[in-house]
A and B are shown apart, each in its own frame.
Chain A
Amino acid sequence: MRSTVWLDIVIAVAAMAVLLLLPLVFPGKAFSDFMIRLSAFAIFATSLNLLVGYTGLVSFGHGLFYGLGAYSFALMMQKLGTSIPVAFVATVGVSAVVATVVGAICIRLKEIYFSFLTLAFQMLLHSIIIAWTPLTGGDQGLTGGVPRPPFLGIRLDDPQHLYIFCCAVLVVSLFIMWHLVRSPFGYTMRMIRDNPRRAEFLGVHVWRVRLLAFVVAGVFGSVGGLLMSLFVSSAYPDFAYWTVSGEAVFMILMGGISVFFGPLVGAVMLLLLNDVVTRVTEHYSLMLGIIILCFALGLRKGLLGFVLWAWARRRATAN
Chain B
Amino acid sequence: MGDGNHIEEETMTDTQRPRRTRRGFIKAAGALTASGLAFPYVSRAQDKPIRVGVPTILSGRVAQLGISSRNALQIDVDKFNAAGGLGGRKLELITRDSKGKPDEAANNTRQLINGDGCEIIISAESSAGAFAVQEVIRELKVLCIHTNSETSSLSADPKIRVPTAFRTARQGIHDAIVSAAYAGSVAKAKGLKTWMSCSPDYAYGRDNTSLFLEYMKRFHPEIELVGEAWPKLFQADYTENITKILQAKPQALYSCLWAGDLVSFLDQSGIYNLFAQTTLFAINMADYTTLTAVKNLPAGIHSSSRYLKTFPAVPENAAWGDAYKAKFGDFPTNWSWENSLAMTFLTTALKKTNSTDGAKLADAMRGMKVKSPFGADGTVTMRAEDQTTIGYAIGWGTTIPKEPYVPTVTPGDWKSILEHEAEWKKKMGFA
Q: Which residues of A contact B (CB under 8 A)?
A: 28-30, 33, 37, 133, 137-141, 143-145, 157, 228, 231-234, 236, 238-239, 275, 278-279, 282, 284-285
Supplied contacts A29-B115, A138-B206, A140-B202, 8 more A-B pairs, CB within 8 Å = A28-B114, A141-B102, A143-B131, A157-B139, A232-B107, A234-B102, A238-B103, A285-B59
A318 to B107, CA, bound (A): 47
Q: Are A233 and B110 in contact (CB-based, < 8 A)? A: no
B: interface residue count bin: 20 to 34
* Whole-angstrom distance between the Cβ of A233 and the nearest chain B Cβ: 5
B189-210: contact bitstring with A at CB < 8 Å (1 yes, 0 no)? 0000000000000110010000
Could you say which of B93-101, B169-177, B360-368 contacts chain A?
B93-101
Residues of B within 8 A of A284 (CB): 58-59, 97, 99
Question: Which residues of chain B (363-390) have a CB below 8 Å from chain A?
Answer: none
Output the nearest chain B residue to A159 by Cβ-Cβ distance.
B139
Q: Are B132 and A141 in contact (CB-based, < 8 A)? A: yes
A108 to B385, CA, bound (A): 59
Q: Are A30 and B99 in contact (CB-based, < 8 A)? A: no
Residues of A within 8 A of B97 (CB): 278, 282, 284
A278 to B157, CA, bound (A): 33
Residues of B within 8 A of A282 (CB): 58-59, 95, 97
Q: Are B128 and A140 in contact (CB-based, < 8 A)? A: yes
Question: Which residues of chain B (151-201) have a CB below 8 Å from chain A?
Answer: 151, 153, 157, 159-160
A143 to B159, CA, bound (A): 9
Q: Are B153 and A33 in contact (CB-based, < 8 A)? A: no
Tell me if B's interface is mostly helix, strand, loop or mixed.
Answer: helix
Given contacts A140-B131, A232-B132, A282-B97, contact A29 B114 (CB under 8 A): yes
Output the nearest chain B residue to A282 by Cβ-Cβ distance.
B58
* Whole-angstrom distance between the Cβ of A267 and the nearest chain B Cβ: 14
Q: Pick the residue among A137, A144, A233, A278 that contacts B159 (CB under 8 A).
A: A144
Q: Are B102 and A30 in contact (CB-based, < 8 A)? A: no
Question: Which residues of chain B (99-118) have a CB below 8 Å from chain A?
Answer: 99, 101-103, 106-108, 110-111, 114-115
Output the nearest chain A residue to B153 by Cβ-Cβ distance.
A143
Residues of B within 8 A of A29 (CB): 110, 114-115
* Whole-angstrom distance between the Cβ of A300 and the nearest chain B Cβ: 27
* Whole-angstrom distance between the Cβ of A206 and the nearest chain B Cβ: 37
Residues of A within 8 A of B139 (CB): 157, 233
Given contacts A236-B102, A278-B108, contact A139 B128 (CB under 8 A): yes
* Whole-angstrom distance between the Cβ of B90 and the nearest chain A Cβ: 20
* Whole-angstrom distance between the Cβ of A16 and the nearest chain B Cβ: 23
A316 to B279, CA, bound (A): 79
Q: Are B132 and A144 in contact (CB-based, < 8 A)? A: no
Residues of B within 8 A of A37 (CB): 107
A284 to B233, CA, bound (A): 23
* Whole-angstrom distance between the Cβ of A35 and the nearest chain B Cβ: 12
Whether B89 is near chain A, meaning CB under 8 Å from some CB there, is no
Whether B316 is near chain A, meaning CB under 8 Å from some CB there, is no
Q: Are A236 and B132 in contact (CB-based, < 8 A)? A: yes
A275 to B233, CA, bound (A): 28
Whether B69 is near chain A, meaning CB under 8 Å from some CB there, is no
* Whole-angstrom distance between the Cβ of B355 and the nearest chain A Cβ: 21
The 4 closest A-B pairs by CB, nearest first: A30-B115, A29-B114, A140-B203, A30-B114
Residues of A within 8 A of B114 (CB): 28-30, 33
Whether B135 is near chain A, meaning CB under 8 Å from some CB there, is yes
Output the nearest chain A residue to B106 by Cβ-Cβ distance.
A232
Given contacts A33-B107, A232-B103, A282-B58, contact A141 B128 (CB under 8 A): yes
Q: What are some 8 contacts across the A-B interface (CB < 8 A)? A: A30-B114, A30-B115, A139-B202, A143-B153, A143-B160, A157-B139, A231-B107, A236-B101
Residues of B within 8 A of A143 (CB): 131, 153, 160
Given contacts A232-B102, A236-B132, contact A138 B203 (CB under 8 A): yes
Whether B420 is near chain A, meaning CB under 8 Å from some CB there, is no
Residues of A within 8 A of B233 (CB): 139
A133 to B107, CA, bound (A): 24
A28 to B128, CA, bound (A): 28
Q: Are B102 and A33 in contact (CB-based, < 8 A)? A: no
Q: Pick the residue among A133, A141, A228, A278 that contacts B131 (CB under 8 A).
A: A141
Question: Which residues of chain B (114-152) have a CB below 8 Å from chain A?
Answer: 114-115, 127-128, 131-132, 135, 138-139, 151
Q: Are A33 and B59 in contact (CB-based, < 8 A)? A: no
Question: Which residues of chain B (53-69) have a CB below 8 Å from chain A?
Answer: 58-59
Q: Are B160 and A234 in contact (CB-based, < 8 A)? A: no
* Whole-angstrom distance between the Cβ of A45 and the nearest chain B Cβ: 16
Given contacts A138-B203, A140-B131, A145-B135, contact A239 B103 (CB under 8 A): yes
Q: Pick the residue among B111, B157, B206 that contacts A33 (CB under 8 A).
A: B111
